[in-house]
Amino acid sequence: MNINQIKKEFPIFDEKIQNNDLVYLDSANSSQKPKVVVDRINEFYTKQFSNVGRSVHYLAVAATNLYENTRTSVQKYINAKDKNEIVFTKGATEALNLVANTLGQSYLQEGDEVLITELEHHSNYVPWHFLRKSKNIKINFAEINEEGEITLEEIEKKITPKTRLISITHLSNVTGAILPVKEITQLAHSKGIIVVVDGCQGAPHLKLDMQELDCDFYAISCHKMYGPTGLGVLYGKKKWLEELPPYQGGGGMINEVKKDRISYGELPNKYEAGTMATAQVIAFDQSIKFLESIGIENVMKHEADLVEYGQELLQKNNSVKLIGNPKNKGGVLSFVIEGVHPHDIATILDEDGVAIRAGHHCCQILHDKLNIPASARASVGIYNTKEDLDQLNESINNCKKIFNL
Amino acid sequence: MNLKELYQEIILEHGKNPRNLRKTEDFNKDAKGNNPLCGDNVHVYLKLNGQKIVEDISFEGSGCAISMASASIMTDLIKGKNEHEAKEIVEDFLGMIKENPELMSENLDEDEKTKLMSLSGVKQYPMRVKCATLSWHTLISAFDENKEEVKTEN
C-alpha cells in the first residue's frame, strides 16, 4: 500500500494552507474527501439530478436506484443481515437522537436505567438526558480506568436490575480506547439489555461486522468516513426498527393519510421523512468503494503504525503529557503541555500548517474527570504519514520555545 | 499572520502570572462568563465604593494565554477608575480588537494604552478574538448586574 499514492487522491493536499503544506491531523473531527467523492456529487447534480422515491420519470427512477445502491453497499460493508436495517439520517447525532427518542416513546419507562460511559461524546449523552427530563429515566456512568479505558468488568459492575439499555462509544475520540463492544453486547443480551453503539470513530477505522458485534443499534457519521457532510447511517436490528414508532413525520414515510387516521410506510422509508440528502447518499457509495479498494485491514494496520510512532515521539517529548494509554487504541493522540493552553498550542501549530483540534472535543464529562478544562488532539486518517507526526512534534517544540519552556 | 505579535512577552508574562487572579472577598458586584466552544470561563468580582469607583477588581477562571493575559491586564487598568470611565475603556478596547487601529480613550494614559495594545495581535486571528474579549464582556455584565452568564461568540 502506497500512502503517497493514496494521498494524491485527496485534492486538498495540493493546496497551500497559509503557504504551508497541509498536515491534517483532525480526522477524528472530520476527514478530508477523495476526489471520487467530490466528483460524484458534481456529476450527480450536473447530469443525473432528481428527487428519489417519488416520481416515475426516468431521472427519478435512476436516482432512486443509485440511492438504494448505496444502502446495499453500506449493508455489505458493515455486514448487516438486511438492507432495510440501514437508515440514512442527517448525521450520527440524528441517528442517536432517533434511537433515544423512539425508545423513549415506546420502550423505556420511568425509573429505567440507561448505562453510558465517561468517554461519551455529548451526542451520546444529551439525547438520553432529554429522556431523563421527560421520562424520569436514570443515567449511570461507567468509569474510565487509569489508562482511559472502559473495561467489560466496569460495565458489569455498573449494571443493575433496572438497567435496560447500554449506550457506548466504539472508539473514544479523546483517549482512543477501543471498547470491547462484542463482549459488552454478549453480557448485556444475557441480561435482556439493549446495546446502542456510537460508531462515529469506529466506522472509519475499524472492521465492522454487525452480525458479529450483535449490537442492536450502531450510529455512523459519513463525513468522518471520507464521505460528505450532512449524512449519517443508523444501523438497527430489523425487529427494533419494525417495532419502534417513527421519529419524524412528513412525506415519504407514510403509507396512507386520511383526516382521521394515518398509517406509516415500511422500512426503511418509515425513518426517512422528507427529501433526504440525496447527492450525499449517492456520493457516499464512492467513500465505501474507496475504503474497500484499500481494504480495512490495511487501513487499520497503517493507522496503528502511525499511532505507535506518534505515541513514542510525544512520550519522548518533555512536558507533553498524553491522555490515556489504552492497550487497544485507535488513531487519536490527545495531549496537554504543562504551561501552554491547548488553544495556544492549536494556534501555534496552525502557523506551520498543522491542523489539530483543541478544546473538550464534546466530551466535558471526561475532561472534568481528568481535571483539565481542555486538551489538544491530533488524530490520523488514511492519508497521514510518519512525516506528518514528525512535523507535529517539531511544531510542538516551536510552541514550547515561544512559551519559554 | 505573526505569532510574535500575538504572543508578545507581556502577554506571555501576564498569561503565566495573571494579576488579580483571586476573589475579592467583600465584592458587591460580580458576573460569570464562559465560552461554550472552548470551555474557557471567567468570574469577575467588583468592589465599588459610594462614588462608583472601582476599589478592587479580581477574577477567577481558566483559559488560554490570551484570555488570561487579557483579564489580567484589564483588572490592572480598571482598578481606580469609576464606572463611567471603566465602561468607556471597555468600549474602546472592544472597538480596537474588532476594527479600530488605535485606542482613543481619554481615560487611559500612554503607558496603559501601550499595555493594552499588546493584545492587538489578536486581530489577525479571528478565532481568538473571543478569547481576548470574554473578560471584558463579563466586566460590563458585572457592572450592569446581569444575572445571565455571558457567552462569547466571535
Residue matched to cell numbers 507526526 = A389
A contact test, residue of B12, B64, B124 with most A CBs within 10 A = B64
Q: Where are the beta strands (DSSP E) in A25-100?
A: 86-89
Are the CB atoms for B39 and A336 separated by under 8 Å? no
Cell of residue A354, nine digits? 498543522
In whole angstroms, what is the distance from residue A235 CA to residue A323 CA?
31
With CB atoms and an 8 Å threshold, state whether B39 touches A341: no
Task: Name residue A238's amino acid.
Answer: K
Distance from CA of A368 to the nearest CA of B (A): 11
CB atoms within 10 A of CB A59: 14
Percent of the residues in chain A that have a pLDDT greater than 70, as a whole number: 100
Give me chain A's average pLDDT, please. 97
The CATH number of B3-145, from 3.90.1010.10, 3.90.1170.50, 3.40.50.720, 3.40.50.1820, is 3.90.1010.10
Are the CB atoms for B32 and B149 separated by under 8 Å? yes
With CB atoms and an 8 Å threshold, state whether A351 touches B3: yes
Task: Name residue A138's amino acid.
Answer: K
In whole angstroms, what is the distance from residue B21 CA to residue A303 CA?
43
Q: What is the ipTM of this complex?
A: 0.89
Are the CB atoms for B27 and B45 separated by under 8 Å? yes
**Coil, helix or strand for B29?**
strand
**Coil, helix or strand for A172?**
coil
Q: Which ranges in chain A are annotated with CATH 3.40.640.10?
A: 38-292
Q: Which residues in B lie closer than 8 A to residue A403 (C-beta atoms)?
A: 7, 12, 65
Collect all residues from A whose CB is shorter than 8 A from any CB in B: 18, 339-344, 347-348, 351, 358-360, 364, 367, 373-374, 402-404
In whole angstroms, what is the distance from residue A113 CA to residue A109 CA?
9
B contact test, residue of A336, A344, A398 with most B CBs within 10 A = A344
Which of A397, A381, A351 has the alpha carbon at shortest distance from A34? A381
With CB atoms and an 8 Å threshold, state whether B39 touches A339: no
Bigger pLDDT: A298 vs B2: A298
The CATH number of A38-292, from 3.20.20.80, 3.40.640.10, 3.30.2080.10, 1.10.1040.10, is 3.40.640.10
For the cut 80, the answer to whether the pLDDT of residue B152 exceeds it is no
For the cut 60, the answer to whether the pLDDT of residue B3 exceeds it is yes
Are the CB atoms for B78 and B53 separated by under 8 Å? no
In whole angstroms, what is the distance from residue A121 CA to residue A357 CA?
15
For the cut 70, the answer to whether the pLDDT of residue A42 exceeds it is yes
Are the CB atoms for B73 and B115 separated by under 8 Å? yes
B128 touches chain A (CB under 8 A): yes
Q: Which tens digit of pLDDT belongs to each residue from A118-163? A: 999 999 999 999 999 999 999 999 999 999 999 999 999 999 999 9
With CB atoms and an 8 Å threshold, state whether A373 touches B39: yes
Cell of residue A298, nine digits? 490495511
Q: What is the dihedral of CA B116, A401, A303, A371, to 10 degrees?
A: -60
Are the CB atoms for A36 and A290 separated by under 8 Å? yes
For the cut 50, the answer to whether the pLDDT of residue A306 exceeds it is yes
The pLDDT score that the predictor gives to residue A54 is 82
What are the residue ranges spanned by the domains of chain B? 3-145
In whole angstroms, what is the distance from residue A99 CA to residue A198 CA?
11
Distance from CA of B57 to the nearest CA of A (A): 24
**Mean local confidence (pLDDT), B62-81:** 95
CB atoms within 10 A of CB A386: 13
Q: Which tens digit of pLDDT belongs to each residue from A167-189? A: 999 999 999 999 999 999 999 99
The pLDDT score that the predictor gives to residue B154 is 40
Are the CB atoms for A355 and A20 separated by under 8 Å? no
In whole angstroms, what is the distance from residue A359 CA to residue A174 CA?
11
For the cut 70, the answer to whether the pLDDT of residue B153 exceeds it is no
Are the CB atoms for A323 and A335 separated by under 8 Å? yes
List b or e across A314-341, with b for residues whose CB sees 16 or more CB atoms inside 10 angstroms.
beebeebebbbebeebbbbbbbbbeebb
Specify the range with the lowest mean pLDDT, choosing from A90-99, A119-128, A355-364, A386-395: A355-364
Confidence of residue B94 (pLDDT cuts 50, 70, 90): very high
Which one of A57-66, B3-12, B28-37 scores highest in mean pLDDT?
Answer: A57-66
The CATH architecture one would assign to domain A3-30+295-402 is: Alpha-Beta Complex (3.90)
In whole angstroms, what is the distance from residue B97 CA to residue B92 CA?
9
Q: Which tens digit of pLDDT belongs to each residue from B100-135? A: 999 999 999 999 999 999 999 999 898 899 999 999
For the cut 80, the answer to whether the pLDDT of residue B38 exceeds it is no
Rounded (10°) angle between helices A278-294 and A35-43: 150
Q: Which residues in A lie closer than 8 A to residue B3 (C-beta atoms)?
A: 347-348, 351, 402
- Chains A, B: CB pairs < 8 Å: 49
Which of A154, A218, A206 has the alpha carbon at shortest distance from A184? A154
Are the CB atoms for A155 and A347 separated by under 8 Å? no
Cell of residue A175, nine digits? 483517549
Q: Which tens digit of pLDDT belongs to each residue from A198-213? A: 999 999 999 999 999 9
What Rg, from alpha-carbon coordinates, does chain B have?
14
Active-site entry in A222, A362, A363, A399: A362
Task: Name residue A2's amino acid.
Answer: N
Which of A220, A211, A216, A270 has the alpha carbon at shortest distance from A242? A270
Cell of residue B58, nine digits? 479580581
In whole angstroms, what is the distance from residue A399 CA to residue A123 CA?
32
Q: Is A362 a catalytic residue?
A: yes
